[in-house]
Structure 1
Amino acid sequence: MKRYFIAVFVAFLSGVMSIDARRVEMNLLQTSDVHGNYFPYDFITGKNADGSLARVSSAVKEARKKYGANVILLDNGDILQGQPTVYYYNYVDTLAAHVTSAVMNYMRYDAGNVGNHDVETGRAVLDRWSRNCDMPILGANIIDKSTGEPYFKPYEVIEHDGVKVAVLGMLTPAIPAWLPETLWNGLRFDDIETTARKWMPIIKEKEAPDVIVGLFHAGQAGNMLAGYKENPSLEVARNVPGFDIILMGHDHRRECKRVINVDGDTVLVMNPANNGVVLTDITMAFEVDDNGKVTHKYIDGELRPMADFDIDAAFMVEFSPYIAEVNNYVNESVGRLTDSISTRDAYFGPSAFVDLIHRLQLDITGADISFAAPISYDANISAGEIFVGEMFNLYKYENMLYVMELTGKEIKDYLEFSYGLWANTMKSKNDHLLLFKEKPTDGDESRAMLANPSYNFDSAAGIIYEVDVRKRPGRRIKILGMADGSDFDCSKTYKVALNSYRGNGGGELLTRGAGIPHDKLSSRIVYSTDRDLRYYLADYIHKKGVITPEKLNHWKFVPEKYIIPAVKRDYKILFPEK
């Protein structure tokens, strides 16, 4: 099918068209989930980056040399959070021109979409960024509660050589399942398919476009999350006629394929994944008659690796002042670690890395129990002086810290659900400890082999417990008592420290696990910080001066005769020697 389509497309470009027709060629480029990777190195690790907008800029300039003005450049959200670059201009230097707006204006984006991590920065940052952008920010399903109308522009029409391309922008509506309302106060997030059905006839009647693009910060699989359909892009492509192209984001999964919608028309569906490593590159060719009407159109796309492009030197010169500012920020000393820490051991038992977060959460809040997970899949911080940049390695996201009231039974059920995502049911010492998608072998892509995201692998501190992997999920956890030696009571209410993502229902450990209805979660929150956890981690280390990381050893997998050989095997699978 693809080979046939490309053959027809090439033939068209070679001149197989009506003698009287005019040919128009366009190039549509999409970035998504850039997560602050504007420059070709990682400010967290101090290493060079494979992607970045510095390389994308070179690809865009190449396209503009080839197609002239007939290039459409779109971003599909999650651009405002991830690297220290954006954190600095989100929260530290709030007076300077925002680096994200400056970069997007320099690259001459035609439109941008909103992602969930953009909403997570808070209304002030989101509004500042959108105001400072030269292009429109889209969001047809982001509704201002006071007016009932879209808070951002619902769609944008881009016209080149008489050919009109309409871009309808939307965001996954599952924001309330992850983020506290304080970050999106006054807004609501409507269902994507319902909103697409609303705007499709309006766009067709009012604009009469030749191509309609859905720019959706949502992935393919339409899973339900707290009553919201998180990733319905593929369903919309099939169920809502009128789209020629659906550009996806959010799930960080590369995709380039065609689907057939309910009217029998072909829809091109693409996703460039994340961090500016790959660029969506779509070529569109049109046959236009003497009356200016498009009589034929041909659309094809590919994912282009940015490693094939040089860093844009002019881009780097333009933003050298920003780079210098961020370098100074990330190289500020916070304190010292006496020992190196890594998330690698967190998959197999207590971890000094995760337990440092537990210690902080318990110290700040005075809570009885702490829940935390290895937020970064494979993070390492070396012994010695620790700098601001490394704090982003220690804690990846801008989650706040909550204290919630949970019963002992809810705590146990929460942990049962967590370890059900995490650990396999072992029948012998030859089985895997970790829950993999399929039987893995050495050398396979390790992270992709895990059945579930590791940021949902919550352990607990403040209680002493065992996880018996011989038992099926739901019957594994045996709580032996509180860490202070007192009894643990399933009927008692405890104060539990956890991050705001989890406290708002993220990962469904509180809802599907502990059995608390989503609309009741907010009533369980008795305390919230007003700054992100990373800020408090840095402050904690700075005040202590020197930190000796150590395992709390509040839990363990059992039985040891199964665990010891399984850990050796599974560790090599997750972290193969290079």
Structure 2
Amino acid sequence: MFDMKKMSCFLVCISFLAGMLPAQEREVKLKIIQTSDVHGNYYPYDFIHEREASGSLARVYALVRKQREVYKDNLILLDNGDILQGQPTAYYYNYIDTVAPHVTAGMMNFMGYDAGNMGNHDVETGRAVFDRWAGDCRFPILGANIIDTATGQPHFKPYEVFERDGVRIAVMGMITPAIPVWLSENLWKGLRFEDMEETARKWMKIIREKERPDLVVGMFHAGQAAQWMAGLYRENASVEVARNVPGFDVVLMGHDHARECRKIANIAGDSVLVMDPASNAVVVSDVEVTLKLRDGKVVDKQIDGTLSDTGNYGISEEFVSHFAPQYRTIQNFVSKKIGHFTETVSTRPAYFGPSAFVDLIHSLQLEISGADISFAAPLSYDTEIKEGDVFVNDMFNLYKYENMLYTMNLSGREIRNALEMSYGLWTNRMTSPEDHLLLFREHRREGAEDRAAFKNFSFNFDSAAGIIYTVDVTKPEGEKVSIAGMADGTPFDMDKIYKVALNSYRGNGGGELLTKGAGISQDELKKRIISSTDKDLRYYLMQYIERKKKIEPRALNQWKFIPEEWVAPASRRDYDSLFGKIKK
């Protein structure tokens, strides 16, 4: 007969012994690798400058393959945007071969990316391009704050959840919302870009309640020096989000091309690792996560980050071999001769006065638009096109971005005020001949080569053509620029409305020269646009040079810095500081 008393005693003993057993503990190690701002640097070769590239996806893949030997499927590979613009490889598959699968998607699929994120230069390719690329990717492209205006829902997935070794990892993607300040609406028609912090707070609640992740990663295409753009958009708010929205363990940044790896405390007192690998795949964000689990629940996290140099891992021959046919296609594309330059042109003189480099762009803009006045800046910090035959790859030196050409109505006063802000960003206020002419920053951030020693970005250093003027560097901003008249000898009128040719970045409010400088509201800018080209300025430069066949570059000499007796020695010193000994 079954003895209930004995059975009860047995169960009590078993329960007691179970309570004495140690909890089941185990350790899970994860590796997260982030690329950002690759800017078309896929091959270990720079097609623009015709030299080996220090970074590239081919190098990243060598690093990833090595790390996967250790971490296997516990390695998560992420890209944080601005991958679709920069090198001719991206340009070719964006706009010329639009039938083949997008090479960028093919490469990222080959490398085993787990998720991507949208960057502003990806949006700049236009919806036809970035939607095609995203559709070709066999992994999700994220963008929690990129909203479809028709549905009110995110155009891309707001986040993705990965499960690795019983651990749930949520990755939320966002982009800087300042897109409308830089890019024409026809490139992102039907979309809007919402505030990062508000978006993060909304989706963090959903992720926590619905997904119950063990680790939360923010992947934000925005830098860390937060500022308001046009009074409407909070730009570079990544660190603010990390600090003000509890729940993130890691925030991966991009956009500002400056290396960063540090921990901050959020408002809940928790530590958040923030990282930025700068640009061009020279380094990657390398995050090592160790999680201790007890009975299936995470009880401890150790998160460490380092910026790993891709140059230490060599080049993946497997990658290069697989994409060799596309390499040959791009080599043939960039090698096409389009004309001849009688002299070498460089951006270097452009910081010290009129230059043949920038004035060639001015001349083209005036010719295409029929405008009265042109605004243009050196878009690359330090580049040149040598005397002799000119090829397609040189055009990526001459004009770095895929900007359209706008013609806008601006008053004489607005023109002057925009120039005042430009030269305020550009020049120091000299108090003696020994002072700097240029406005330098105190400390240079590693990885921020495109800013070099300048306090501000040189792509906002607009000069003008079509008017004769001086810039007095002894005066404060607002009093530097004196316009003597139009280049054709007619008077310049502060109250007259002029047609001004400028690129779409500037015309949409980029650099704030027209908004903050000229005092035109962001909404008003659209009403000032008379016309826009349907193709980018680089395309028209190529057409212009092919038509002319021989270009004799020359400075228009329509403006100058004064007083010249101070400017001349300061220019020599500042040139040497930036570039070394002046070329003869």
Question: Which TM class, normalised by the smaller chain length?
Answer: over 0.9
Gaps of 5+ in 2: 1-21
Q: Distance in 1 between matches of 2:431 and 2:340?
A: 44
Deviation of 1:19 after TM superposition, in Å, equals 8.0
Displacement of 1:428 in angstroms is: 1.4
Partner of 2:527: 523
Between the aligned partners of 2:139 and 2:205, the Cα distance in structure 1 is 24
2 CA distance for matches of 1:289 and 1:451?
51
2:536 aligned partner = 532
Alignment deviations for residues 445-468 of structure 1 (CA, whole Å, 9 cap, x no partner): 894321110000000000000011
Which residue does 2:171 correspond to in 1? 167
| Residue among 194, 199, 210 paired with 1:195 | 199
After TM superposition, give the deviation of residue 23 of structure 1 in Å.
Answer: 1.4
Alignment partner of 1:68: what SS?
A: helix
2:277–2:307: 8 Å Cα contact kept in structure 1? yes
Structure with larger Rg: 2
Of 330, 334, 350, the residue aligned with 2:338 is 334
Indicate whether 1:563 and 2:567 are aligned.
yes
How far does the alpha carbon of each residue in 1:380-437 deviate from its partner, in whole angstroms, 9 at most, with x for none? 0001100001100000000000000001111111111100000111111111110112
Deviations 1:38-94 (A, max 9, x none): 111111000111111100000100111011111000000000011000000000010
Q: Which runs of 5+ in 1 are unaligned?
A: 1-17
Number of equivalenced pairs: 557
Counterpart among 476, 485, 490 of residue 486 in structure 1: 490
Q: Distance in 1 between matches of 2:267 and 2:472?
A: 49
Identity of aligned residues (%): 62
**Corresponding residue for residue 121 of structure 2:** 117
**Deviations 1:469-518 (Å, cap 9, x if unpaired)?**
11111101111111011111111110000000000000000001111011
| Aligned pairs (5 A) from 1:130-209 | 130-209=134-213
Residue 100 (structure 1) aligns with: 104
One-letter code of the match for 2:379? I
Question: Where does residue 33 of structure 1 map in the other structure?
Answer: 37
SS, match of residue 264 in structure 2: strand
1: CA distance between counterparts of 2:105 and 2:178? 26
Matched, 1:86 2:90: yes
2:387 to 374, 383, 388: 383
Match in the other structure for 1:69: 73
Distance apart, 1:438 and its partner CA: 3.3
In the alignment, structure 1 residue 214 sits paired with structure 2 residue 229: no
Rounded Cα–Cα distance in structure 1 between residues aligned with 2:159 and 2:72? 24
Residue 286 of structure 1 corresponds to: 291
Question: Is residue 280 of structure 2 the alignment partner of residue 275 of structure 1?
Answer: yes
1:365 aligns with 2:369: yes
- Is 1:350–1:554's contact at 8 Å kept on the other side of the alignment? yes
- Bigger mean CA deviation after superposition, 469-478 or 85-94: 469-478
> Are 1:347 and 2:351 an aligned pair?
yes
- Alignment pair present for 1:248 and 2:250: no
SS in 2 for 1:448: coil
Q: Is the 8 A contact 2:23 2:294 kept in 1?
A: no
Q: Deviations over 1:275-311 (max 9, x none)?
A: 0000111111111223x22222211110001111110
- What CA distance in whole angstroms lies between the structure 2 residues aligned with 1:115 and 1:439? 27
- Aligned residue identity for 1:371: F
Normalising by structure 2, we get a TM-score of 0.94
Displacement, 1:576? 2.0
Match of 1:260 among 256, 265, 272: 265
TM-score by length of 1: 0.95
Matched residue SS, 2:69: helix
- What displacement does 1:176 show? 0.4
- Paired with 1:201 and 1:417, the residues of 2 have a C-alpha distance of 42
CA distance in 2, matches of 1:174, 1:439: 26
Alignment of 1:453 onto 2:457: yes
Which residue is 2:414 aligned to?
A: 410
Assess if the C-alpha contact under 8 Å between 2:180 and 2:508 holds in 1: yes
- Please list, as runs of the form range in 1=range in 2, the aligned pairs for 1:416-427 lying within 5 A after superposition: 416-427=420-431
Contact 1:446 1:575 in 2 (8 A): no
Q: Which amino acid aligns with 2:498?
A: Y
Q: 1:243 to 1:446 in 2, by over 3 A?
A: closer
Q: Secondary structure at the match of 1:69?
A: helix
Structure 1 CA distance for aligned equivalents of residues 102 and 527 of structure 2: 36
Q: What corresponds to 2:238 in structure 1?
A: 233
Structure 1 match to 2:401: 397
- Report the CA distance shift for 1:150/1:272 in structure 2 as closer, same or farther (over 3 A): same
What RMSD, in angstroms, separates the aligned Cα atoms of the two structures? 1.4
Q: What code does the residue aligned with 2:329 have?
A: E
Task: Report if aligned partners of 2:380, 2:459 keep a CA contact under 8 Å in 1.
Answer: yes
What is the CA deviation profile of residues 118-151 of structure 1, one whole-angstrom value per residue up to 9, with x for unaligned ones?
0000000010000000000000000000000000
